[in-house]
């Protein structure tokens, strides 16, 4: 009866909501994740200033207390992850933007007069959210359509291609179904979703009241899904990776799994699951931690941390809830090198796969131009260098904190990292003298140390010789005494008794 263009779907939904509300029952809305939805409030009191007499409440199945989303003419800010996506129209309808699984639940609209007494019955809407995913496993590709509902699922889900049901006996595609979920798998490696028109794939959802909605298959962009977010961090620093759409009432994030993968590596490695950090990677596990809201913390970041981090949510039955939350981590590294009378600062960004970042050097918040007489710059993919071409000039002749490496990611997000050279006892960059003088001083110091070391060794040898002389002299004296005694004439009284 209704077409499947988005405008017509919206009109149909509004009509169905109106009919159900007249019966005093809870109406049902199914919306695609990432989309917007407007929930009408029935029997709105007239002459309200900014809907001051209207209250919107939100509750989930299993949670006793309802949470106020809107009251006294204002959006409540108790839920930071949700309040910024809410709005109320002039006719007191509730608008939810960029819907996610956390929006699944029951929405109740109540009307109050100026004395605070409720007027009429509640206007109730149950919101369910459709999520689609695409996964590859060797030579197979699977499309999954899931519906997250408030409480027990009463929806039927199936896949269509060209408005025909994907049958189980199809030789190209195999389907499987579970409660509130359907999957279609392409079993031959030459066949994938791009070999046919993706718009012809639709997920059909039928609710308890036999309302049918069809959602064309469309993979959202990373920004729309909040998945392919990009994080650039300085090596040695710490970073916190948020997990979106976290399931409530988890004990130590038991239903949350963090996975790590690198471009080119097929298998992802589990970093955190069942409430514990995995200890498979000894060089990494001791630097990991998970916060109360299931964010992943990486301390003292290194190049080995570059890659894709995926957060997945599972219910108690082990079924995945919602789509993956994905973060690509890139790491900035800075180096300082000398070559004869030249000194070069290098800033490099290690990324997961092909580099899409722009790197450049700044001094005093101004770009180091290629025509600068004191400094020369060069660039390559994901790297930039600045070279001081005159020997009297080095990084210490200007404030090191004024050197910054500016990194712009593919989403046009700009970050600046101040140059901080590592301390070193032999670092000429911290000396007030020029490169040649420093080199000469270093050579002299090394020579002096060698002489001192040689002198010290000679002293030890002389001491050892002197100590060895004492027993030698003693032996000589004893031998001389014995020799002197042997050379004495015999006693005159010898033989006087004859």
Q: pLDDT by residue (tens digit) across 453-481?
A: 444 555 556 666 666 667 777 777 777 77
Dist. CA 181–CA 219, nearest whole Å: 17
Residue 177 has a CB neighbour count (10 Å cut-off) of 13
* pLDDT at res. 320: 83
Given a cut of 80, whether residue 150 has pLDDT beyond it is: yes
Task: Give backbone dihedrals phi and psi of 353, rounded to 5 degrees, phi first.
Answer: 85, -150
Q: Which of 51, 60, 52 is nearest to 79 (CA)?
A: 60
Dist. CA 161–CA 145, nearest whole Å: 14
Query: What is the average per-residue pLDDT within 328-339?
Result: 90
Instruction: Specify whether the CB–CB gap between 167 and 175 falls below 8 A.
Output: yes
Dist. CA 132–CA 78, nearest whole Å: 29
Sheet strands side by side (includes 366-367): 366-367, 358-363, 403-408, 414-418
The single residue listed with the structure tokens 């012809």 is 200
Given a cut of 90, whether residue 111 has pLDDT beyond it is: yes
Dist. CA 486–CA 34, nearest whole Å: 118
Dist. CA 95–CA 372, nearest whole Å: 54
Query: What is the average per-residue pLDDT within 278-282?
Result: 71
* pLDDT at res. 455: 45
Q: What is the mean pLDDT of the chain?
A: 76
Task: List pLDDT tens digits, range 232-269.
Answer: 999 999 999 988 878 877 888 999 999 999 887 767 89
Structure tokens at 424: 């070193």
Q: How many residues are listed for the chain in this entry?
A: 498
Q: What is the pTM of this model?
A: 0.45
The better pLDDT of the pair 265, 488 is held by 265
* pLDDT at res. 498: 38
Name, of 19-33, 119-133, 392-406, 421-435, the range with top average pLDDT.
119-133
Query: What is the average per-residue pLDDT within 107-124?
Result: 92
Dist. CA 9–CA 41, nearest whole Å: 19
At CA 96, angle to CA 102 and CA 72, rounded to 5? 105
Query: What is the average per-residue pLDDT within 136-151?
Result: 80
Residue 85 has a CB neighbour count (10 Å cut-off) of 17
Dist. CA 97–CA 84, nearest whole Å: 9
* pLDDT at res. 61: 83
Task: Indicate the range of 34-38, 85-89, 399-403, 424-428 predicted with least confidence.
Answer: 424-428
């Amino acid at each position: 009866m209704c077409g499947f263009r988005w405008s017509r779907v919206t009109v149909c939904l509004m009509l169905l909501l109106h009919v159900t509300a007249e019966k005093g029952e809870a109406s049902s809305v199914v919306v695609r994740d990432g989309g917007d939805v407007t929930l009408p409030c029935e029997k709105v009191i007239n002459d309200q200033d900014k809907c001051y007499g209207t209250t919107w409440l939100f509750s989930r199945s299993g949670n006793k207390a309802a949470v106020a989303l809107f009251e006294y003419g204002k959006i409540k800010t108790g839920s930071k992850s949700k309040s910024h996506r809410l709005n109320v129209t002039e006719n007191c309808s509730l608008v939810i933007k960029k819907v996610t699984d956390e929006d699944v639940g029951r929405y109740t609209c109540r009307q109050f007069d100026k004395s605070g007494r409720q007027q009429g019955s509640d206007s109730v809407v149950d919101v369910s959210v459709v999520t689609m995913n695409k996964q590859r496993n060797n030579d197979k590709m699977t499309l999954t359509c899931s519906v997250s509902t408030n409480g027990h699922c009463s929806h039927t889900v199936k896949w269509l291609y060209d408005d025909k049901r994907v049958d189980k006996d199809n030789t190209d595609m195999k389907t499987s179904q579970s409660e509130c979920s359907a999957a279609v798998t392409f079993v031959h490696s030459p066949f994938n979703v791009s070999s046919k028109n993706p718009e012809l794939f639709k997920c059909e959802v039928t609710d308890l009241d036999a309302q049918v909605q069809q959602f064309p298959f469309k993979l959202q962009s990373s920004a729309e899904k909040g998945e392919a977010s990009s994080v650039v961090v300085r090596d040695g620093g710490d970073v916190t990776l948020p997990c979106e759409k976290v399931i409530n009432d988890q004990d130590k994030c038991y239903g949350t799994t963090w996975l790590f993968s690198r471009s080119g590596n097929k298998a992802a490695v589990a970093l955190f699951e069942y409430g514990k950090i995995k200890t498979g990677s000894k060089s990494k596990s001791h630097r990991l931690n998970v916060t109360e809201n299931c964010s992943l913390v990486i301390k003292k970041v290194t190049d080995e941390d570059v890659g894709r981090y995926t957060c997945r949510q599972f219910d108690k039955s082990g079924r995945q809830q919602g789509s993956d939350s994905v973060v690509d981590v890139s790491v900035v590294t800075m180096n300082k090198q000398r070559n004869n009378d030249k000194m070069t600062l290098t800033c490099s960004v290690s990324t997961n796969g092909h580099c899409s970042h722009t790197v450049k050097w700044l001094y005093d918040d101004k770009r180091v131009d290629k025509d600068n007489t004191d400094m020369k710059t060069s660039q390559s993919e994901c790297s930039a260098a600045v070279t001081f071409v005159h020997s009297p000039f080095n990084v210490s002749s200007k404030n090191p904190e004024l050197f910054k490496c500016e990194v712009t990611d593919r989403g046009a997000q700009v970050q600046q990292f101040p140059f901080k050279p590592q301390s070193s006892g032999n670092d000429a960059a911290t000396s007030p003298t020029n490169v040649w003088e420093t080199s000469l001083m270093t050579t002299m110091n090394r020579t002096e140390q060698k002489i001192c070391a040689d002198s010290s060794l000679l002293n030890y040898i002389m001491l050892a010789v002197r100590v060895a002389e004492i027993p030698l002299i003693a032996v000589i004296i004893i031998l001389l005494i014995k020799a002197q005694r042997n050379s004495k004439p015999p006693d005159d009284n010898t033989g006087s008794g004859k």
